[in-house]
Amino acid sequence: MTYNDFKKAVIDQAKSAGISQYDLYYHKGMETSVYAYEGDIENFSDQTSIGACFRCIIDGKMGYSSTQSLTEEEAARLVKDAQACAEVLDQDEYATIFEGSDEYAQVEGARDTGCDVEALKKAALEIERMAKAMDSRIKTVPMAVAGFGYGEKALYNSSGLDLGHSYSCFELVCEVTAEDENGRKYEAFDVQMEVDQKDLDVEKLVKTAVDKAIGSMGASSVKSGEYPIVFQNDKTVTMLGTFGGIFSGDSAQKGLSLLGGKEDEKIASGIVTLLDDPHHAKSIGKTPFDDEGVATRKHTLIENGILKTLLYDLTSAAKAGKATTGNGVKGSYGSSVQVSSHNLVIEPGSVTKDELLKQAGNGLYITELKGMHASANASTGDFSLEAKGYVIEDGRLTRPAEQFTIAGNFYKLLENITGLANDFYLHGGVGAPAILVSSLAVAGEE
Amino acid sequence: MIIERAVAEKVLAKALSTGGDFAEIFAEDTLMGSIRMIDDKVDTAINNKIFGAGIRIFKGLKSVYATTNDLSESGLLLCAEKAAVAIGDLKADIDIHVALSSSITPNIHPIKQNPFDVAMGKKVRVVRDAYKVLKDHSDEIVQAIVSLAERDQNVLIANSEGLLTEDRRVYTRVSTVGVASDGKENQMGHEAPGRMMGFEVFESEVDVETAAKQAAEQAVTMLHARPCPGKRMMVAIENGFGGVIFHEACGHSLEATSVAKNASEFCGKLGERIACEKVTAIDDGTVSNAWGSLNIDDEGTPTQRNVLIENGILKGYLVDRFNGRRMGMPSTGSGRRESYQYASTSRMTNTYIDNGPDKNEDIIASISDGLNAKKMGGGSVNPASGEFNFAVAEGYLIKNGKIDEPVRGASLIGKGSEILQNIDMVGQNLDVGQGMCGSLSGSVPTNVGQPLIRVSEITVGGISGGDAQ
């Protein structure tokens, strides 16, 4: 059945079960990807997936259930299972279904116009061809991908709220393997994800990946010690994305972030201003409402180093005696609502990246970071990450460096940011410029 | 059956109508449940149903994958047609007849108690009991998180070679996290045992209290630990989840996904010595009820015991159907995927370094200045260059052959081919640990394992540079 028929079936089931507080969340995603390999389209993927999630409050307890099968029987199971889930929980006096915001921002959605498969094929083939032509040391292009995604979400609840939004995204991926004369392999990749197709730049993508691979040839480790560190803009994004959870009011309440009770205190260097900007034009996840139906808006989290607010959903806000910031987010349609940023951005500075390197003097420029899922912990702030990059000597990049780690604590890193470049970069709901951190521990050779 | 035989035959015929030489349907009907306790409250209970199918077509070295949630005959035919159009440039339909015959693979992973037939209250008790153990362990444990996750995956796989088969995979896992704090700093401890089993896992295989106690103890120990010094060191990595070193440093690079495209440092090295002769490494998907096991892989091939390295010599790769075409090698029963939303590719199952010749006490005694990595966290690898990293969740310095004080915040990095050569002592207490492995075809359950091993030299990433005091 269609989603609208399914919605009616769920509403009927909820009514006959005597459930008065509930919501129904729906997501439909479509994704087309084309992979080129050795001058031909090797793989084509066309994926559609739908999901509906029902949650309800029974005696102050919120249970969840989801499905990918839109039938009468599933509508019944959904309501029954959510009820059964609710029953075993402990009471939460703050559990609530939202009444609706007075006003929702106008955020441009996307149209389901279908996808130009021929254009994707052309782009994927061009990525591979261009990468091999750019430098003879590029031996294989394991990934040359062009993709298009379209998604719709809808939220209906027992207070009569009925919201919808759609989004789309174009994506290019280029992964190259370079080989030196000794047969040693160097791998690098770059990704572009854009709301507007015209913002895609195949040549820039390929050049970034090729330069990264060729630039790292002959890399060696560095001596262990303390160094000033410049994070390339996309690596500042990686760090901020990894530790963004520390701004969750819910995590703070549960002792999983050390920022609890720190509002209005200085937690970062005075040059740092951090925002959550859910309506940023170039953000793929831009949205007028969060997954509880609350109107989203821009919030300043850190202003000149001072923590102005944490992020809240309805429950954590009620617990803190504050208003929600509209940051109740589901990781996927079937997940529970958690506090999360929509589009976390560090405001750029005024100097160029090269000037930032001069400011660093002698240190390391980080272009690759690995191990974020295991060797970085948002609750403790600790990180110890595999890194690659370049040695900075007298303000200039001199040689490629690899096989070293950078380690420290993100809370301290925020205090030690001494420079911000003007090269703002946005990816996957996080944006930042290159930053200079006065000192981090580096482990490499003796 | 999720899809009737006659329907599957029609769908496969449609998939081949534009010139494909192989077509496959992977359909699933899966229930996933989770219950979580945090902040003294059981605050989340969710049931999710995953329901859909993926249709894959090969034509030589080309492949197409399309998915749908509509498993009616018309929905599947539409999906097959979409895929057929994408792979073929043939204008006229080819009339193809596919005849399927059911194949029943013996179930070597019996399930006694389906977790979805167990009363919710009984499951909540498991969670509450573990939570209490964590919180009661020490005043320094300020927060605890316990979750119980179950999955009952029913799959149907049919392909144009005539295969029609089904499999059921039931998983049960508990995750326990302790957070220790002194008001200024936090440290965490984590244990998450699980099996490809039903709820009976808690009677026989998994002792929830022990897991919770270990998680709490780890958090408290690390709260009082000094930052680990960062430098090159000799390291003894303990058994069980320590096997993540082989998983990252070598396992991923032996997957056909990388090898087929010459994007692995182990390409073309079959029969060559790639490790010290004490090292024998195996990927075995047939271990009864183990976390990474399967009766058949997600392409319908029975899983097997694959010897990857024997006495230091590279013996084999992990191969799926599609990459096997490029490599000219048969499937090793290694085609896996998280769900129908991913095309399968070569993945690990239960991968471990086998017991070796060295006594465990000799390994520790042999190290005058090094690190004992008692509990490992996760890691990642770049198969092309072999560069890997992984986290040490609980570490101790080794001084003059004896385990010394605890250290925190360490990670280990290196290159797979180099580190394999540096594994120079292999102990005798093989054990496994459970993990979720993420790659191209999503997140799949895998066991990692090994006995205590010694790595002669590896870069240890730490907070305080230079020598330890």
A-chain CB neighbours of B121 within 8 Å are 88
Angle at A156 between CA A152 and CA A157, to 5 degrees: 155
**Which among A158, A192, A213 is the end of a domain?**
A213
- Asked if B439 contacts B347 with a C-beta cutoff of 8 angstroms, the reply is yes
Which of A25, A33, A45 has the highest number of chain B CBs within 10 A, making it the mutation to test binding with B?
Answer: A45
Short-list B266, B272, B276, B332, CA closest to B302: B332
B-chain CB neighbours of A402 within 8 Å are 387
- pLDDT, one tens digit per residue, over B303-345 is 999 999 999 999 999 999 999 999 999 999 999 999 999 999 9
Among the partner-chain residues B65, B120, B185, the one whose CB lies closest to the CB of A87 is: B120
What 3-state class would DSSP assign to B222? Answer: helix
B-chain CB neighbours of A445 within 8 Å are 232
Rounded to whole angstroms, the Cα distance separating A444 from A391 reads 13
Contacts of A148 (CB under 8 A, 6+ apart): A31, A32, A33, A115, A116, A120, A168, A169, A170, A171
Maximum Cα–Cα distance across chain B: 78
Residues A188 and A289 placed together within one structural domain of the fold: no
Among the partner-chain residues B47, B179, B465, the one whose CB lies closest to the CB of A224 is: B465
Neighbours of B346 (CB within 10 A): 31
Q: Do B65 and A65 touch (CB under 8 A)?
A: no
Among the partner-chain residues A46, A254, A409, the one whose CB lies closest to the CB of B82 is: A46
Q: Which residue of B has its CA nearest to A36?
A: B62
Which of B261, B323, B439 has the highest number of chain A CBs within 10 A, making it the mutation to test binding with A?
Answer: B261
Average pLDDT of every residue of chain A? 96
Q: Do B43 and A92 touch (CB under 8 A)?
A: yes
Which of A212, A375, A383, A388 has the highest number of chain B CBs within 10 A, making it the mutation to test binding with B?
Answer: A375
pLDDT-derived band at B93 (thresholds 50, 70, 90) equals: low
B-chain CB neighbours of A443 within 8 Å are 230-231, 459-462, 465
Residues A224 and A197 placed together within one structural domain of the fold: no
> How close does chain A come to B41, measured CA to CA in Å?
6
Tell me the DSSP string of A268-313: S-TT--EEE-TT-TT-TT--SB-TTSPBP--EEEEETTEE---B--
- Asked if A142 contacts A124 with a C-beta cutoff of 8 angstroms, the reply is no
CATH number of the structural domain spanning residue A182: 3.30.2290.10
Residue-level pLDDT at A375: 82
What are the angstrom distances between the C-alpha of B450 and each of A311, B158, B194, B254? Answer: 43, 36, 17, 18
Average pLDDT of every residue of chain B? 94
- Asked if A146 contacts A118 with a C-beta cutoff of 8 angstroms, the reply is no
Average pLDDT value for residue range B39-48: 97
Short-list B293, B413, B318, B308, CA closest to B354: B308
pLDDT-derived band at B468 (thresholds 50, 70, 90) equals: very low
Is A69 an 8 Å CB contact of chain B?
Answer: yes
Among the partner-chain residues A49, A86, A184, the one whose CB lies closest to the CB of B52 is: A49
Is A47 an 8 Å CB contact of chain B?
Answer: yes
Residues A245 and A97 placed together within one structural domain of the fold: no
pLDDT-derived band at B465 (thresholds 50, 70, 90) equals: very low
A-chain CB neighbours of B45 within 8 Å are 63-64, 85-86, 88-89
Q: Answer whether 0.80 is exceeded by the pTM.
A: yes
Q: Do A85 and B45 touch (CB under 8 A)?
A: yes
What 3-state class would DSSP assign to A142? Answer: strand
Q: Do A386 and B124 touch (CB under 8 A)?
A: no
Residues A285 and A156 placed together within one structural domain of the fold: no
> How close does chain A come to B266, measured CA to CA in Å?
11
Domain ranges, ordered by start, for chain B: 229-465
> How close does chain A come to B22, measured CA to CA in Å?
14
Average pLDDT value for residue range A161-170: 96
- pLDDT, one tens digit per residue, over B394-431 is 999 999 999 999 999 899 999 998 999 999 999 999 99
Average pLDDT value for residue range B172-176: 98
B-chain CB neighbours of A187 within 8 Å are 263, 382, 384-385
Rounded to whole angstroms, the Cα distance separating B125 from A291 reads 30
B-chain CB neighbours of A338 within 8 Å are none
> How close does chain A come to B80, measured CA to CA in Å?
11
Is A362 an 8 Å CB contact of chain B?
Answer: no
**How does DSSP classify residue B192?**
-
**How does DSSP classify residue A43?**
E
Residue-level pLDDT at A373: 83
Average pLDDT value for residue range B285-311: 98
Among the partner-chain residues B142, B377, B461, the one whose CB lies closest to the CB of A443 is: B461
Among the partner-chain residues A40, A45, A254, the one whose CB lies closest to the CB of B39 is: A254
Among the partner-chain residues A66, A226, A380, the one whose CB lies closest to the CB of B465 is: A226
B-chain CB neighbours of A407 within 8 Å are 227, 230, 409, 411, 461-463
B-chain CB neighbours of A381 within 8 Å are 186
Among the partner-chain residues A41, A89, A256, the one whose CB lies closest to the CB of B62 is: A41
Residues A95 and A62 placed together within one structural domain of the fold: yes
Return the C-alpha torsion angle B246, B248, B254, B255, nearest 10: 130
Is A316 an 8 Å CB contact of chain B?
Answer: no
Residues A120 and A176 placed together within one structural domain of the fold: yes
Residue-level pLDDT at A111: 79
**Which among A188, A213, A238 is the end of a domain?**
A213
Is A439 an 8 Å CB contact of chain B?
Answer: no
- pLDDT, one tens digit per residue, over A337-386 is 999 999 999 999 999 999 999 999 999 999 999 988 888 888 889 999 99
Angle at B184 between CA B178 and CA B189, to 5 degrees: 15
Instruction: Outline where DSSP puts E strands in A59-182.
Output: 61-67, 138-157, 162-179
Residues A269 and A127 placed together within one structural domain of the fold: no
> How close does chain B come to A379, measured CA to CA in Å?
7
- What's the residue count for chain B? 469
Residue-level pLDDT at B90: 59
Share of chain A above pLDDT 90, in %: 93
Residue-level pLDDT at A342: 98
- Asked if A202 contacts A141 with a C-beta cutoff of 8 angstroms, the reply is no
Structure tokens at A224: 């262990």
Residues A183 and A244 placed together within one structural domain of the fold: no
Which of B385, B418, B448 has the highest number of chain A CBs within 10 A, making it the mutation to test binding with A?
Answer: B385
Structure tokens at A232: 């390339």
Residue-level pLDDT at B466: 40
Return the C-alpha torsion angle A389, A395, A398, A404, nearest 10: -30
Selected residues 221-240 of chain A with any CB under 8 Å from a CB in chain B: 221, 224-226
- pLDDT, one tens digit per residue, over A219-274 is 999 999 999 999 999 999 999 999 999 999 999 999 999 999 999 999 999 999 99
Residue-level pLDDT at A3: 96
Among the partner-chain residues B42, B263, B388, the one whose CB lies closest to the CB of A140 is: B263
pLDDT-derived band at B469 (thresholds 50, 70, 90) equals: very low
**Which among A182, A213, A244 is the end of a domain?**
A213
Query: Based on the structure, what is the number of domains in chain A?
Result: 2
Is A46 an 8 Å CB contact of chain B?
Answer: yes
- Asked if B214 contacts B189 with a C-beta cutoff of 8 angstroms, the reply is yes
- pLDDT, one tens digit per residue, over A385-443 is 999 999 999 999 999 999 999 999 999 999 999 999 999 999 999 999 999 999 999 99
Selected residues 11-40 of chain A with any CB under 8 Å from a CB in chain B: 37, 40
Residues A408 and A271 placed together within one structural domain of the fold: yes
